[in-house]
Amino acid sequence: MKIINFKDIKSLSISPSKCYEWVEETIHNKNSTILPPKISMKPFDGVFCNVMPGIITNGSKKNSGGVKVVTRYPNRVPSLESCILLMNATTGEFLALMDGTWITAMRTGAVAAHSILLFSKEHFSVIGMMGLGNTARATLLILAEKIRNREITVKLLKYKGQEENFAERFSKYKNLKFDYVDTAEEMVQGSDVVISGATYLPQDVCPSECFDEGVLVVPIHTLGFTNCDLFFEKVFADDLGHVHHFKNFDKFKRFAEVCDVVNGIEPGRENARERILVYNIGVSIHDIHFASSIYEMLQQNGILDSLPDADLKNPLEKFWV
């Protein structure tokens, strides 16, 4: 079993478009995976530890499996960290213990970008963003690569000066214009798409009347928009099993999984007036697809053999007690 760290993954220079491609395939094949709901443990306020198993049974990463453990500790830098145990689901062989921090940010950003392109109204031009950490950066990075020829205004909610650093990160994208706003109300009103990357929100961010007709809301960490549950025309999610326990689930006007829209089973946006909410709570099959793809890339580039082994000295005898 190999140890694969953050720098090993970064050295591959995986493009935003490749991240989008991996997510697109996984969403398309989602209904033929083994995907139990994640276990979420919250020992303290603002802290969580999620355990996420899954096995891919179709597509280019068929028979890849594993478990991701992701934690949030607000006083740690970065606050979100994760590890992935990758396995061959056919043989049971453990292939790698892999850093999941890069994978978590980029697959989450790719999933959010996919939902924006799938569910936003045609020719959207104004995006409101809050929670400007790595996941929000990944989202806009992947989205920007997909809409290079469209003029977009991005309204950033000010927070500890992060908005200026965020805008600087995207200075090479001349089609993106950044405005800074002081309140969540300003960020939401007038926006065609609202994206939140905030990992902790104790209450909803703004009143219901702030959300215009036709708006798409993508709360990446599913926080801060429960009032939208009650009056938005449609709610979508990456997996029913991960959201059916939401307090307002039974009050959604209409619900479907994103994969069913992609595969033509359920309708997506049907007109420019529908308010749509997307709860991509985050599922392990994306992490496993990314991890398996990275493992193969390291193998093909001749890097894998040089990486350290994790030898657990497992017994070789059938009976060892």
Domain ranges of the chain: 2-104+283-306, 107-279
- pLDDT at residue number 199: 84
Which CATH number is associated with domain 107-279?
A: 3.40.50.720
Cβ-based neighbour number of residue 273 at 10 Å = 12
Confidence of residue 240 (pLDDT cuts 50, 70, 90): very high
Cβ-contact 107, 23 below 8 angstroms: yes
- Compute the mean pLDDT over every residue in the chain, rounded to the nearest whole number: 96
The CATH superfamily assigned to 2-104+283-306 is ornithine cyclodeaminase, domain 1 (3.30.1780.10)
For residue 51, give Cα distances in angstroms to 84, 102, 222, 252: 10, 17, 17, 27
**β strands within 10-103, DSSP E:** 33-34, 39-41, 48-56, 64-72, 80-88, 94-99
Determine the Cα–Cα distance for residues 23 and 236; give it in Å rounded to an integer: 16
Core vs surface per residue 106-132: b (16+ CB within 10 A) or e: bbbbbbbbbbbebbbbeebebbbbbbb
User: Which among 19, 2, 33, 1 is positioned nearest to 238, based on CA atoms?
Assistant: 33
Residue 226 scores a pLDDT above 90 = yes
Cβ-contact 156, 182 below 8 angstroms: no
pLDDT in tens, 51-72: 999 999 999 999 999 999 999 9
pLDDT in tens, 166-213: 999 999 999 999 999 999 999 999 999 999 999 888 899 999 999 999
Beta bridge partners of 196: 130, 219
pLDDT in tens, 38-55: 999 999 988 999 999 999
